Structure 1
Amino acid sequence: GDDSLGTAREAPRQLSREQFFTLISAASINLGSSMCYSILGPFFPKEAEKKGASNTVIGMIFGCYALFNLLASLAFGKYLVHIGAKFMFVAGMFVSGGVTVLFGVLDKVPEGPIFIALCFLVRVADAISFAAAITASFSILVKAFPNNVATVLGSLEIFSGLGLVLGPPLGGFLYQSFGYEVPFIFLGCMVLLMVPLNMYILPNYEADPGEHSFWKLITLPKVALIAFVINSLSAGLGFLDPTLSLFVLEKFNLPAGYVGLVFLGLALCYAISSPLFGLLSDKMPHLRKWLLVFGSLITAGCYMLLGPVPVLHIKSQLWLLVLVLVVNGVSAGMSIIPTFPEILSCAYENGFEEGLSTLGLVSGLFGATWSVGAFLGPILGGFLYEKIGFEWAAAIQGLLPLTSGLAMGLYYLLEHSRKRRPISQDILGTEEERTALLPNE
């Protein structure tokens, strides 16, 4: 009896073949897409300036990725079941690898409007393909691991963080050694090589279309506030893409190859902390709300110190900048990881059916809300950087997570008070009944 009980306890810990292959596929898209996205940071703004693009236009090139990722995520989330999760995943990865290679030949086109237009075109195609792959990936993962959503998503953020860690320094090194084309061609070919592997190993899930819509999901007050938290966090990270490398180059006179290392603290700490916060979210779901709130508030403080904001009268130093990015990486993991299971649990509590259709809606909504912030962040960042400088721009950016964290905290306090009120009313009602039934006592 003890042996069989021990086997039953150990069984859930064993990964099935299907789950193992799902993890490999999701890890491959997280790693490849993160590297392709982050490789632009150290050297693309400088190259775009040579081609006649202003800082505002550079911010728009970064930001348009998020805008079309937003639109595509909503569409792919809605029609995931109709298209097929596996086909959407593989096709998205194939197109993403191809357009990354195309990005590497843009330095051959004439400067000015033609260069800028082609940058937008290639970036849009990459955004749509990535939205397809990541929406399908999230849905397949949650389908394969329904009881460990935060743990699995947090663990896979190791590969996202690894891609963000490796992308800037690898891109900077290849750019310094071989020129503009090689970083994109190398990474694009690496993503394309993953396509046949995923065609073979990725499981195929079938499901029926659901009855619910994005509108019903996003109009739930709790989901809307969580979406605002996601927006504020992604806007902050997007803000750093077009601005941080230029600030470091101007302020500390570092070569392009070393600029990528500045991004290392943020990405590495995010990758390390995400699995821990994911495990904590699954083991103690009641802590998710406070991880969301305090993570947002800490992130707001980081942006105030990133410059730092002039009113603090703190001298800008490289070690302080790296330290703030390290703390920001931890606070980002603290806030981001609990959002997906919080939205999913809220959807189930409000009558959404459990299945791939709802997972597609939640995955698409998560990708879309993340993209809203990632669209606004670079554009606002590029504009403010030109007008008021990096120090004040970063401080203004920090107001978003500050507002979302306070709003989320207020909602949870009100929710807690509403849950306690019926209990106290029941106790009061019972005492009144006893008084009425037993007047002589």
Structure 2
Amino acid sequence: MSVHFETGNINCCNTVHQPQQPAFRSMQYCQDATTRLLPSKHIEPMNRKQICCLIILAYSYFCIAASGSLQAPFFPGQCDIKGVSPLTYGLIFGVFELIVTSMPSIFRKMFAYVTPHTALRFGLFLTGTTTILFGVLDKVTLANQFAGFALLLRIGEGLGVAAFVSSCHALKESEFREHPVPALTALSTASCLGALLGLPIGGALFMAGGYFMPFVVFGSLTLFAFLMSIFILSKSDDYMLIGDPISPGYSDKFVEVFAIAGSVALTGFNDVTLAHHLSLFDLSPIQLASIFMIILFAFLTFPTFCCAFGSNGFGSLWTPIVGTVLIIIGLISIGPASFIPIEPYVLLDDDLWLIILSLIVIGFGLRAKKLSPTSYGCSKWLKALPIIATFVGPVTGGWLISTVGYRTATEVALALEIFTLILLIIHKICNCRTPVEPSF
């Protein structure tokens, strides 16, 4: 076999023929006066235990992502039936997002006392149970009781999801040290598929059995993952967290963090307000879920375009600027904004094409803004800004819907995006300036 090594301007080539020897016994070394290149370490394939662990984690990610995707298309409509105000169910959405984003850091500290396996089982059990109970809420008739129980269940579900995500990070560190990329790819794919497929499947279940059916089905599937984790995952207590799990880092520059926080807030805003806006149309549950799936699909596919931009020398600082411009275009057309000569939608299915097109553009823009250049060395209050935005976005959206309506609410979001665009352009100009050498 021929082995080629290249370091700087030095090319080494060596040919060795050992047909009867195993590969690890025929290692070759290429040396020069200053460099010695060693062959890469042989990585063993995943064993049976690791494969079983990965299957359980991927299945759990799928169920939890599918359960989470059911909230936005169906819960606001149920709140309208019960007489719950948009501000109240915006608060319910916001509390869940706040817990999911803030609690993992606390759970990571607890791994000094409990194993990730215990936290995983606790998270799956709590998430599955609260999801099933969330589907039974349609039996509650009084608005205040409905809102109170929904808030408590969403808090419990948020704690379960946070415990599950934290334990999965720890298990990836301990179980898949030699296979981090395949494990991360499998879990990310399972989560994306759950979020995408949960919407149409949930819509079909809603048509078949009403509000409670999709929540009971996916909650039961999550409890089945809990049972599998008990009987299949290792019961060893030797797994402790080695280092902090990888978590999103935010830039130490305020503008970039502000852009990310704005995209997070707009995502929560859209979850609360879009179902209310689509209630103007006579849509079936499957159609409603499919429209929510469109923006999620656009959000997940946009990184492919970003890679193409990057290969053509498209600077990373331009990505959030382009994303903000796309969001502005989408918000202008989805309302539509009052300053453009387009009448609001009048219960015609033919008007849906503009909403769908706007959601695709907004999905691209949200993803582009979240691809802002980031780092880990920022202050704690800057890291907290996107976490706060997960709560502020849904609550603000619910309050605006109940007071000024969807059209004006999108104009408020539009004003925020225009302000963000101005900040990003100034930030880009300042970063493009090159220092001038002083002359003496």
| Match status 1:36 vs 2:67 | yes
User: In structure 2, what is the equivalent of residue 233 of structure 1?
Assistant: 263
User: In structure 2, what is the equivalent of residue 95 of structure 1?
Assistant: 126
Name the SS for the 2:72 alignment partner: coil
Structure 2 CA distance for aligned equivalents of residues 286 and 155 of structure 1: 29
User: In structure 2, what is the equivalent of residue 334 of structure 1?
Assistant: 368
Deviations 1:349-377 (A, max 9, x none): x8x9xxxxxxxx99xx97x6554323222
Equivalent pairs counted in the alignment come to 396
Shift of residue 270, structure 1, vs aligned partner: 2.0
TM-score, with normalisation over the residues of structure 2? 0.73
CA RMSD of aligned residues (A): 4.3
Q: 1:258 aligns with which of 287, 298, 305?
A: 287
Shift of residue 61, structure 1, vs aligned partner: 1.9
Shift of residue 129, structure 1, vs aligned partner: 1.6
Paired residues of 1:225 and 1:408 also in contact (CA < 8 A): yes
The one of the two structures with greater contact order (alpha-carbon pairs below 8 A, sep at least 6) is 1
Residues 301 and 110 (structure 1 numbering): CA distance in 2 closer, same or farther, change over 3 Å? same
Q: 2:221 aligns with which of 160, 175, 190?
A: 190
User: In structure 2, what is the equivalent of residue 295 of structure 1?
Assistant: 323
| Match status 1:243 vs 2:277 | no
| Match status 1:126 vs 2:157 | yes
Structure 2 CA distance for aligned equivalents of residues 332 and 13 of structure 1: 41
Shift of residue 131, structure 1, vs aligned partner: 2.0
Residues 229 and 137 (structure 1 numbering): CA distance in 2 closer, same or farther, change over 3 Å? farther
Shift of residue 302, structure 1, vs aligned partner: 1.5
Shift of residue 196, structure 1, vs aligned partner: 4.8
Which amino acid in 2 is paired with 1:311?
F
Shift of residue 10, structure 1, vs aligned partner: 11
Name the SS for the 2:399 alignment partner: helix
Shift of residue 392, structure 1, vs aligned partner: 1.8
Structure 2 CA distance for aligned equivalents of residues 26 and 166 of structure 1: 18
Shift of residue 301, structure 1, vs aligned partner: 2.6
Q: 1:50 aligns with which of 69, 74, 81?
A: 81
Map 1:27-176; keep pairs closer than 5 Å: 27-76=58-107, 83-137=114-168, 158-176=189-207
User: In structure 2, what is the equivalent of residue 305 of structure 1?
Assistant: 333
Paired residues of 1:294 and 1:405 also in contact (CA < 8 A): no
Which amino acid in 2 is paired with 1:266?
I
Structure 2 CA distance for aligned equivalents of residues 33 and 10 of structure 1: 41
Map 1:379-398; keep pairs closer than 5 Å: 379-398=395-414
Map 1:313-328; keep pairs closer than 5 Å: 313-315=341-343, 316=345, 317-328=351-362
Residues 285 and 13 (structure 1 numbering): CA distance in 2 closer, same or farther, change over 3 Å? farther
Residues 385 and 291 (structure 1 numbering): CA distance in 2 closer, same or farther, change over 3 Å? same
Identity %: 23
Residues 120 and 236 (structure 1 numbering): CA distance in 2 closer, same or farther, change over 3 Å? same
Residues 335 and 197 (structure 1 numbering): CA distance in 2 closer, same or farther, change over 3 Å? farther
Shift of residue 266, structure 1, vs aligned partner: 0.7
Structure 2 CA distance for aligned equivalents of residues 157 and 284 of structure 1: 27
Paired residues of 1:81 and 1:208 also in contact (CA < 8 A): no
Structure 2 CA distance for aligned equivalents of residues 26 and 10 of structure 1: 33
Higher helix residue share:
1
Paired residues of 1:89 and 1:133 also in contact (CA < 8 A): yes
Name the SS for the 2:73 alignment partner: coil
User: In structure 2, what is the equivalent of residue 411 of structure 1?
Assistant: 427
Paired residues of 1:306 and 1:321 also in contact (CA < 8 A): yes
Which amino acid in 2 is paired with 1:327?
V
Deviations 1:115-170 (A, max 9, x none): 22111100111112212223444566689689999x99788655444333333332
User: In structure 2, what is the equivalent of residue 399 of structure 1?
Assistant: 415
Shift of residue 178, structure 1, vs aligned partner: 0.8
Which amino acid in 2 is paired with 1:255?
S
User: In structure 1, what is the equivalent of residue 2 of structure 2?
Assistant: 2
| Match status 1:180 vs 2:205 | no
Structure 2 CA distance for aligned equivalents of residues 416 and 387 of structure 1: 43
Paired residues of 1:281 and 1:288 also in contact (CA < 8 A): no
Q: Which has the larger radius of gyration?
A: 2
Map 1:266-285; keep pairs closer than 5 Å: 266-274=295-303, 276=304
Structure 2 CA distance for aligned equivalents of residues 80 and 74 of structure 1: 11
Deviations 1:218-276 (A, max 9, x none): 7x732x544322321122121122221221121x22233322122121112223334x2
Deviations 1:85-115 (A, max 9, x none): 5543443233211211111222223423222
Structure 2 CA distance for aligned equivalents of residues 311 and 155 of structure 1: 46
Q: Which runs of 5+ in 1 are unaligned?
A: 353-360, 433-441
